[in-house]
Amino acid sequence: MDDHDVDAYAKLLRRVNSPRVVVDNDACEHATVIQVDTVKRQVALLEVVQVLTDLNLAITKAYMSSDGVWFMNVFYVTDDHGNKIRDEGIINCIEKALENDACMVNSTGKILLSKDHNLIELTGTDRPGLLSEVCAVLTDLRCNVVNAEIWAHNARAAAVIHITDQSTGAAIEDPRKLSLIKKLLYNVLKDHGDFRTPIVSISAPVEIHTGRRLHQMMFAARDFERPDSEIDGSVRPDVTVLDCPGRDYTVVTATSIDRPKLLFDTVCTLTDMQYLVFHGAVVTDSKKAYQEYYIRHVDGFPTSSEAERQRVIECIQAAIERRASEGLQLELFTDDHFGLLSYITRILRENGLWAKSAEISTRNGKAKHNYIVTDVSGNPVDPKTIFLIHQQMGQTVLQVKGNLSVPPKFPQETSRSFLFRGLFRCPSFQNFGLS
């Protein structure tokens, strides 16, 4: 077989195995229905959910099922205003993104491949002022932050940061400077009261999805572990892991507050824990989300011990909580300039605010920052503090999203029977002999 035949055969395989996508605005009154049929692979479901998430679509309901070869996914989606997707340009974008390799999607800048950046990954113990100190080090060393995302959960923090050399606007190539950056960031992250060693890596950009990478970093930092002495009594997502007698599945159910990207966070964690989702359902209302998954380990077996089931519970709870930092959301949009991030985070720190998460992006000379903050004790922010910050940087530059209070926590309750009943009545599941 010559090179032409090999290339033609590869194209044929890609065409045969490409996802089949149907976008339907008539099947449901309140949402656009997207059906995606893909060849079953370990990451197939994650790739589809990742595409929908990165296109800023809210998934209000979903059904997933496999016959062993093909994976059928049905998603009910709306835009960020709760409306159907009616714009033909957006629909075409959805179809194109889903029909192509999901790893190539870059609709929101989550995957960065520019060779002009250095990639910094940090993991360490979270504390008030940490973000400000990291930004101060980078500014002092004349590093410009192009994009960054920082998560904190259960006293652990992780960050993915893209930087350039302020003098050249390109990636830093001097090995001595890179070594100094790594050393100083390590010193900032080092906590003498914590036996866990911080991790600092600096590399050339690689193809990553920032959200998935942060999940992997937090998982590696074991943020799902909560010693009895650190349990704060707060209500956590209600997660159960049960055997499914006669079907060789493990059933995972989760009840939590609904929020954007929830499905992605759960599926991402199951995938990275080496579990395959064979069937599943997600149902949301205005406040709550119910998730149910029928899983097996990649070796083909369900969970085999109580310790393994408990680990799945802890990891799913952590996955749901990582992005759901409780606090006040602040949004900044202004002209970008060198040192802006260091300046903003210093103001937050000097006014007694603790950045629980942050997302930083720059484009075409503009900077957009999103922070979720509490006071240094983790309590709601005093409105007087925001007034002082507005005086320092201007009310038009920094906007408060939502009310100056922490939203009430969703009371823990058990609604597993709702999903169990509804799941097996779903026509798509009956087709695979699960009714």
Residue-wise pLDDT for 216-244, tens only, equals: 999 999 999 986 545 555 678 999 999 98
Residue 359 has pLDDT above 90, yes or no: yes
With cut-offs at 50, 70 and 90, classify the pLDDT of residue 115. confident
Please give the Cα distance from 430 to 153 (Å, whole number). 40
Are the C-beta atoms of 235 and 411 separated by less than 8 Å? yes
Q: Domains (ranges, CATH) in the chain?
A: 19-104 (3.30.70.260), 118-206+327-401 (3.30.70.260)
Residue 111 has pLDDT above 90, yes or no: no
With cut-offs at 50, 70 and 90, classify the pLDDT of residue 361. very high
Please give the Cα distance from 381 to 377 (Å, whole number). 10
Q: What count of other Cβ atoms lies within 10 Å of the Cβ of residue 160?
A: 22
Please give the Cα distance from 343 to 283 (Å, whole number). 42
- pLDDT for residue 17: 63
CA neighbours closer than 13 Å in the CB half-sphere of residue 3: 0
For residue 273, give Cα distances in angstroms to 144, 210, 315: 35, 18, 9
pLDDT, averaged across the chain: 85
Please give the Cα distance from 379 to 374 (Å, whole number). 6
Most confident of the following: 220-229, 243-252, 372-381: 372-381
Element (H, E) at 268: helix 262-272
First to last CA, the chain: 47
Element (H, E) at 354: strand 353-363
Q: What count of other Cβ atoms lies within 10 Å of the Cβ of residue 367?
A: 19
With cut-offs at 50, 70 and 90, classify the pLDDT of residue 205. confident
Q: What does the block give as tokens for 432? A: 């695979």
- pLDDT for residue 211: 95
Please give the Cα distance from 322 to 153 (Å, whole number). 5
CA neighbours closer than 13 Å in the CB half-sphere of residue 89: 0
